[in-house]
Chains A and B, each alone.
Chain A
């Protein structure tokens, strides 16, 4: 079991400097973790991860009242019912507006602020950074009442704008820190070279820096979208009319209904998950690099 040649993995990384041959037994024990020590715990964890997903699919696809563990015959009745009768079509549309607006505003404002933090030294910079950090510890849920009063004053209750503002504000600090870390990784000399060539700051930023920031922008934008798509409390509090509600509030309504319609709940859950799944499939390859470059090294 100690022969690495037998394992079917990708070719072992070639050592840069050919050292003296070592006995195979001692070669890189770290890479020679017995296979069962990988597959056994991973399988157990996968079962734990996947059963809930299977369960929601099962309830969404099998007819009401069925107790079969296989969704057969498949029915789409639950989806139809949720989309039309339970107004998920409207909720979905509202959530799309909120998600996209939050994404755009957060990214733009964070780009501007992140650039200032990365490239300038100014008087209130450290104070501002501290404020950004402290804001992470302000629980949105605890500010509901004053926020409600502000939005009432601004006549924004029952308008999606209130939710967009609230989501943006709570997304901003982390987004800005993330983006400024990405900008710091772009060499300043590149920008300076562009100025010498006659670009003004904005053009230089657009032509030189922006393309290099793509992974960071994608990470920040998609987090903003996903967070506002998933977040529940602001929409619940600031939107009273049913035709203004968003998907998570719709899901909560389904859950707290007197007789919980499990099929509808499952179908609604899947509808809620679709955009997020698409976003994550799209950004997967940037996710880990985005995290390690932007967040952890902060």
Chain B
């Protein structure tokens, strides 16, 4: 307000006048639709989740419903091995997935950034799984892993593995199986983001390094990697949150099985609320998951310095 008054005191040039002649309300009017949608369908649900987390709320057991205080939370931390199991699996899932995706994505981006014959086609093919959805990825890998007619059958012919095994229903193989399926779709995402950033590295830097006799490995270490740092931080954190929250793939590929072996925390929450109708407890779990994610978002804000400048 003070700023506006200062502007008004000066005799503004006509052009400025016109620009500020639009009502002060305009920016608010412009963000209103977005803000209302988000208030109604994100903020309000978030708040009601917090509210429910303090309630016993289960339509199938109405006699217990009512204010619960911190009961739900106490149960989560002291009396729910499944919570710890699913949280551990979530951490393992995010760590392995994002780590491998970053590694392969970086390598892939460096490769398709080179000049070579067939590069355009190579890029298009390599990036193609990125467009495939969670459910469709599941459908494809269900076909591949099918015990009767999947790739296992043909690998068995070559002497790898044995007939009639389904990698998705065996506790010893299910983790690598889902990791590979998700990698198939996730690596291109990293590769695209990193490639976009690679293209803005100045060639002069490499030439200078060349003159100084730096090896390719040194050039990568001292020029490419520092340049990519921001993009890597950003995509890694975005992807980590996304992989944590991703329900589509695991829900449809394994349903969280076998024996809860691939149940992430969000999947556990979805099952608790949708199948067991235990909304109060699911809300408490959601709150805990939310705090974990908020912590991630703080780290994200810190590292990426997002929103630091407002212009």
Contacts and interface: CB of A to CB of B under 8 A. Distances in A.
B225 interface: no
Contacts of B103: none
Interface string A22-62: 10001111110101001101100110111111011001000
Contact of B114 (A33, A121, A126, A196): A33
Contacts of A140: 245
B236 interface: no
A101 B26 CA distance: 26
Interface string A255-298: 11000101001101100110011011000100111011001101
Given A122-B27, A229-B133, 7 more contacts: A30-B206, A45-B108, A55-B143, A116-B27, A146-B44, A147-B45, A289-B196
B15 A173 contact: no
B124 interface: yes
B48 A273 contact: no
B134 A230 contact: yes
B27 to A, nearest CB: 4
Interface in A117-162: 117, 119-122, 124-126, 128-147, 149-150
B282 A46 contact: no
Interface string B177-192: 0000000100000001
Interface residues of A, number: 112
Interface residues of B, number: 106
A215 to B, nearest CB: 13
B20 to A, nearest CB: 10
B49 interface: yes
B12 interface: no
Contacts of B70: none
A261 to B, nearest CB: 11
B22 A201 contact: yes
A31 B114 contact: yes
A279 B293 CA distance: 32
A31 B207 CA distance: 11
A268 B136 CA distance: 9
A92 to B, nearest CB: 14
B210 A56 contact: no
Nearest to B128: A49
A113 B44 contact: no
